[in-house]
Amino acid sequence: MSTPLDVIVAGELYVDMIMSGFDFWPRPGTEAFAKEYRRDMGGGATITACGLAKLGMRAAIFGIVGSDSGDWMAGRFKQAGVDASLLRTDAVEPTGFTVAATTPEDRAFLTYAGANHGFPQALLDAAASSQLQARHIHLGFAPRLDTAAELFRAIRQYRCTISIDVGWHEDWLADPRALAILKNVDVFFPNEVEAHAMTREDDPAKALKRFADAGLDRVALKLGARGAALLWRRDLYFAPPPAVTPVDTTGAGDCFDAGFLHAWLNNETPQQCLITGNICGALSTEGYGGIAAFPTPDRLNQELKKGPACTKWQ
């Protein structure tokens, strides 16, 4: 990597097999036929890294692929402008894969982790041996609670900032140790369901206040079609999303992460970070899979000029 990196995105990597256009949602024991099918790279880390690269950031991906599709994955990352030199290959396990059934309103996933089984230890080893050097590290997975503090210390030795989106891992989110660990990151990206699992609060503002009381500085709370809210050093903000006609909601939260981080790493205001995340997340739903419809810089700037509202909560 000859050019210093802005961001390394680390997480589990998958091949996504996405089906859509169903006439009905099948119950157990029944079958529904899709009208559309596509194969693409998947996983939250993949989508966030591709979004950051599309916005012009120098982004790299760290993860483990299998020999079955590792070259295809590396090639797709390079096409998306993402540095793939940090990828590791598992000679035994296949690349993780997900079969996704999606509608404009909802989605369901069946997943096999595959080569991702070795990811947590590989990431810790890489951080401890000076292989992860960038301005910022974004973690798109739920780190083991017993080694998370060690991982964060290893990453911090390079004086970089850290963000994390753990996704839906119910046991991790409900564990009291999680809040204490998250005090060691700069930005936490939960959605509403994940925030509820951690705080037991249904109201977004109350959930963010609980995070503030636990010592977290920045929490970008994704609220789906209602937009997003933000805790920023005890101040609270809310922004609605732009109007879109959704086709596929896969990866919208990961696209939000990319937009928010792009603005934050460019020293934008809290309000601008939240608005940018909202735009990227919303526009990504206009296409299938989370990567294809992520906005270009020109499209993002067009939406920003429309001046979407961002209000401060009391």
Q: What is the pLDDT of residues 174-202, one digit of tens each?
A: 999 999 999 999 999 999 999 999 999 99
Contact 233, 217 (CB under 8 A): yes
Report residue 301 as tokens.
């700037």
12-39 pLDDT, tens digit each: 999 988 898 998 888 899 999 999 998 8
74-79: which pairs have CB atoms within 8 A and are 24 or more residues apart? 76/40, 76/41, 77/41, 77/46, 77/49, 77/50
Contact 166, 179 (CB under 8 A): no
> Which residue carries 């933000």 as its tokens?
230
> Confidence band (pLDDT; 50, 70, 90) for 157?
confident
pTM of the model: 0.91
Q: Which helix (H) or strand (E) holds 270?
A: helix 270-284
Q: Which residue has the higher pLDDT, 139 or 245?
A: 139
pLDDT at 92 over 50: yes
The three-state secondary structure class of 244 is coil
pLDDT at 217 over 90: yes
User: How many of the other CB atoms lie within 10 Å of CB of 91?
Assistant: 8
Angle, CA of 185, 230 and 154, to the nearest 5° = 5
- Write down the pLDDT at residue 250: 80
C-alpha separations of 128 from 132, 145, 158 in Å: 9, 17, 10
> Which positions ≥6 away from 166 have C-beta within 8 Å?
141, 142, 143, 172, 173, 190, 194
The per-residue b/e assignment along 267-300, b for 16 or more CB within 10 angstroms, e otherwise, is eeebbbbbbbbbbbbbbbbebbbbbebbbeeeeb
- Write down the pLDDT at residue 173: 96
- Write down the pLDDT at residue 1: 44
User: From CA 169, how far away is CA 190, in angstroms rounded?
Assistant: 11
Q: 114 φ, ψ to 5°?
A: 55, -130
248-304 pLDDT, tens digit each: 788 899 999 999 999 999 999 999 999 999 999 999 998 877 788 999 999 999 999
User: From CA 136, how far away is CA 274, in angstroms rounded?
Assistant: 18
Contact 223, 261 (CB under 8 A): no
- Write down the pLDDT at residue 39: 86
> For the domain with range 7-14+42-95+116-313, which CATH number is right: 3.40.1190.20, 3.30.420.110, 3.50.50.60, 2.102.10.10?
3.40.1190.20
- Write down the pLDDT at residue 46: 96
Share of residues in the chain with pLDDT > 70 (%): 98
How confident is the model over 138-163, as a mean pLDDT?
93
User: From CA 273, how far away is CA 276, in angstroms rounded?
Assistant: 5
Report residue 306 as tokens.
């429309």
Report residue 65 as tokens.
């692929």
- Write down the pLDDT at residue 314: 63
- Write down the pLDDT at residue 3: 55
Going by C-alpha positions, the residue among 6, 123, 49, 15 that lies closest to residue 294 is 49
Q: Which helix (H) or strand (E) holds 16?
A: strand 14-20
Q: Which residue has the higher pLDDT, 242 or 6?
A: 6
Q: Can you give the residue ranges of every domain in the chain?
A: 7-14+42-95+116-313
- Write down the pLDDT at residue 158: 83
39-70 pLDDT, tens digit each: 889 889 999 999 999 999 999 999 999 998 88
How confident is the model over 208-226, as a mean pLDDT?
95
Hey, what amino acid is at 2?
Answer: S
